[in-house]
């Protein structure tokens, strides 16, 4: 379609050197074709052009002193992409691969994801090329304090509410929040994923992983399948992967493989949740240490090898583009019938194509991993009314939200004659609410 092609071409031209951002935009725009065709008013309102230009992009210097008193400099980012339906909301990523294009792709995806939750949150994302691995606790604290000393002026409970993502967990959020509160002299919910003793929500830590399993469960139930007695592989072994492991096991699945950026473990007897949780959350160890505790398990160097392990359900929960065409073909060959993306954009476009061609049920990240940000929004509500809800209360709201996202995405796919294509359905359902809000609010 001419309008979409022109917008895509311009986006690539004015944002050079940002392949992940181009990839995310291309995927969304492609699936919006039937919607744009039905709504010529969107083109008249320049809606796509506006949606693709972040409202604000902040890049800043983060100077800090390491334990040897040497000066270190990192780059900080916050991309405030869309506030059409609520304050900017989305995580912070600390990883050496972070650059503006990565943060833009994540912030762009977040717009649709947050819309799908049905809660009033806009899209944003931030982070730094800082590598928290092998840093001392004191170094992490000094870095977080320096990062927040600039970031604080751009965020706030009603403006922009960051949270965690890769490399940013409970420890980092604690240091970030401490510095925010100190500078602002205000005790307000300007971050989510906070500790339970200072305004955090029960079940936020578990939310992304649990939500992923709730979503995939809905999706496979619609085809008469279940987690019970299924074999599952989960890439990564961070926050999302750990709680996907716990919930998948609770639903009767056997999780046989997990990974980190160095390699993967295979445990034919089923990976033990408590061992992984303690290794990663308490001891901050590598996943290879698992085989010391479980003698029948194997460790293999090289993280992508995880997709060669036969499984019924594959859950990529590490990072973008970690699952390519070759891996997808291997999964299909080995009998994989469902893929649920816990990470953001973990499957390459070619891998998704392989899944579609072979009728593999595919749960796209922006729908399937929305449980984390959804419970973040519930944390914001609790902070506003100065209340805290029980674990069961939050978990039951999370289950309802994931079920609704599944229903809305599959209904949108059906409505536009796209069959079981939940990726397109999620894009359409997420887009519509944002587009209507943008139309109503005029040219802003």
Asked if 344 touches ligand 2IT (CB under 6 A), the answer is yes
Which residue's CB is nearer to ligand NDP, number 149 or number 192? 192
The tokens describing 25, both together, are 């935009």
Q: Considering CB under 6 A, how many residues would be counted as binding ligand 2IT?
A: 11
Which residue's CB is nearer to ligand 2IT, number 121 or number 265? 121
Q: Is 254 labeled as catalytic in the residue annotation?
A: no
Backbone angles phi, psi at 386, to 5 degrees: 50, 50
Least distance (Å) between residue 180 CB and ligand NDP: 19
10 Å CB burial of residue 209 (0-12, 13-18, 19+) is buried
Least distance (Å) between residue 90 CB and ligand 2IT: 5
Q: 192 is in the binding site of which of ligand 2IT, ligand NDP, none (Cβ under 5 to 8 A by kind)?
A: ligand 2IT
In 70-190, alpha helices (H): 100-116, 137-151, 170-184
C-alpha 312, offset from chain centre: 23
Binding track over 182-211 against ligand 2IT, x by CB under 6 A: ----------x-------------------
Asked if 372 touches ligand 2IT (CB under 6 A), the answer is yes
User: 94 to each of 102, 217, 322, how far by Cα in Å?
Assistant: 12, 31, 18
Asked if 413 touches ligand NDP (CB under 6 A), the answer is no
* Helix H or strand E encompassing 128: strand 122-128
Single out the segment in contact with ligand NDP by CB under 6 A; choices: 152-160, 233-241, 291-299, 349-357.
233-241
- Is the distance from CB of 347 to CB of 341 less than 8 angstroms? yes
Which residue's CB is nearer to ligand NDP, number 7 or number 189? 189
Q: Residue 168 contacts by C-beta under 8 Å, 6 or more apart in sequence?
A: 91, 92, 93, 94, 127, 132, 193
Residues in 415-444 at the binding interface with ligand NDP, rule: CB under 6 A? none
Which residue's CB is nearer to ligand 2IT, number 31 or number 192? 192
10 Å CB burial of residue 201 (0-12, 13-18, 19+) is buried
Q: Counting every residue, how long is the chain?
A: 444
Asked if 321 touches ligand NDP (CB under 6 A), the answer is no
Which residue's CB is nearer to ligand NDP, number 36 or number 244? 244
Question: What is the Cα–Cα distance from 132 to 110, expressed in whole angstroms?
Answer: 24
SS3 424: helix
Least distance (Å) between residue 70 CB and ligand 2IT: 31
Asked if 115 touches ligand 2IT (CB under 6 A), the answer is no
In 3D space, the residue among 92, 86, 183, 168 whose CA is nearest the CA of residue 133 turns out to be: 168
Which residue's CB is nearer to ligand 2IT, number 169 or number 425? 169
Asked if 176 touches ligand 2IT (CB under 6 A), the answer is no
Q: 308 is in the binding site of which of ligand 2IT, ligand NDP, none (Cβ under 5 to 8 A by kind)?
A: none
Asked if 11 touches ligand 2IT (CB under 6 A), the answer is no
User: 369 to each of 91, 124, 441, how far by Cα in Å?
Assistant: 13, 16, 29
Asked if 163 touches ligand 2IT (CB under 6 A), the answer is yes
Q: Residue 262 contacts by C-beta under 8 Å, 6 or more apart in sequence?
A: 286, 287, 288, 301, 303
Catalytic residue among 125, 181, 366, 397: 125
- Going by the DSSP 8-state scheme, the letter that residue 9 receives in this structure is H
Single out the segment in contact with ligand 2IT by CB under 6 A; choices: 226-234, 242-250, 296-304, 372-380.
372-380
Backbone angles phi, psi at 431, to 5 degrees: -65, -45
Residues in 356-385 at the binding interface with ligand NDP, rule: CB under 6 A? 369, 372
Least distance (Å) between residue 107 CB and ligand NDP: 11
Which residue's CB is nearer to ligand 2IT, number 91 or number 253? 91
Q: 342 is in the binding site of which of ligand NDP, ligand 2IT, none (Cβ under 5 to 8 A by kind)?
A: ligand NDP
**Three-state secondary structure of 171-214:** HHHHHHHHHHHHHHCCCCCCCCCCCHHHCCCCCHHHHHHHHHHH
**Three-state secondary structure of 45-83:** CCHHHHHCCCCEEEEEEEEEECCCCCEEEEEEEEEEEEC
Single out the segment in contact with ligand NDP by CB under 6 A; choices: 41-49, 162-170, 248-256, 330-338.
162-170
Q: 388 is in the binding site of which of ligand 2IT, ligand NDP, none (Cβ under 5 to 8 A by kind)?
A: none
Task: Give the footprint of ligand 2IT on this chain (CB under 6 A).
Answer: 89-91, 113, 163, 165, 192, 344, 372-373, 376
Active site residues: 125
């Amino acid at each position: 379609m001419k309008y979409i092609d022109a917008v895509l071409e311009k986006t690539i031209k004015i944002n050079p050197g940002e392949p992940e951002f181009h990839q995310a935009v291309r995927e969304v725009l492609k699936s919006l074709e039937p919607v744009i065709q039905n709504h010529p008013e969107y083109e008249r309102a320049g809606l796509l052009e506006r949606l693709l230009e972040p409202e604000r992009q902040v890049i800043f210097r983060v100077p800090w002193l390491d334990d040897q008193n040497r000066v270190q400099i990192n780059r900080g980012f916050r991309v405030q992409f869309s506030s059409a339906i609520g304050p900017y909301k989305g995580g912070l990523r600390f990883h050496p691969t972070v650059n503006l294009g990565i943060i833009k792709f994540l912030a762009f995806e977040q717009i649709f994801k947050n819309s799908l939750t049905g809660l009033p949150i806009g899209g944003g994302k931030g982070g730094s090329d800082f590598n928290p691995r092998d840093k001392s606790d004191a170094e992490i604290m000094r870095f977080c304090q320096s990062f927040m000393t600039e970031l604080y002026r751009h965020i706030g409970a009603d403006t922009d509410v960051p949270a965690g993502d890769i490399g940013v967990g409970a420890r980092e959020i604690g240091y970030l929040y401490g510095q925010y509160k100190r500078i602002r002299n205000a005790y307000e919910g300007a971050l989510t994923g906070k500790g339970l003793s200072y305004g955090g929500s029960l079940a936020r830590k578990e939310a992304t992983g649990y939500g992923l399993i709730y979503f995939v469960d809905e999706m496979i139930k619609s085809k008469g399948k279940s987690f019970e007695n299924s074999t599952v592989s989960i890439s990564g072994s961070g926050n999302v992967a750990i709680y996907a492991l716990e919930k998948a096991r609770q639903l009767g699945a056997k999780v046989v493989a997990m990974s980190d950026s160095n390699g993967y473990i295979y445990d034919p007897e089923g990976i033990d949740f408590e061992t992984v949780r303690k290794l990663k959350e308490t001891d901050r160890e590598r996943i290879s240490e698992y085989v010391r505790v479980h003698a029948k398990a194997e460790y293999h160097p090289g993280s992508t090898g995880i997709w060669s392990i036969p499984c019924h359900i594959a859950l990529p929960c590490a990072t973008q583009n970690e699952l390519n065409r070759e891996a997808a073909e291997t999964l299909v060959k080995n009998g994989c019938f469902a893929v649920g993306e816990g990470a953001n954009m973990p499957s390459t476009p070619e891998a998704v194509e392989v899944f579609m061609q072979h009728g593999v049920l595919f749960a796209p990240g922006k729908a399937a991993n929305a449980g984390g940000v959804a419970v973040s929004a519930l944390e914001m509500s609790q902070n506003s009314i100065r209340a805290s809800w029980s674990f069961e209360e939050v978990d039951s709201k999370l289950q309802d939200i994931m079920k609704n996202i599944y229903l809305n995405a599959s209904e949108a796919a059906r409505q536009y004659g796209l069959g079981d294509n939940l990726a397109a359905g999620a894009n359409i359902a997420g887009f519509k609410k944002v587009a209507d809000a943008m139309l109503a609010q005029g040219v802003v």
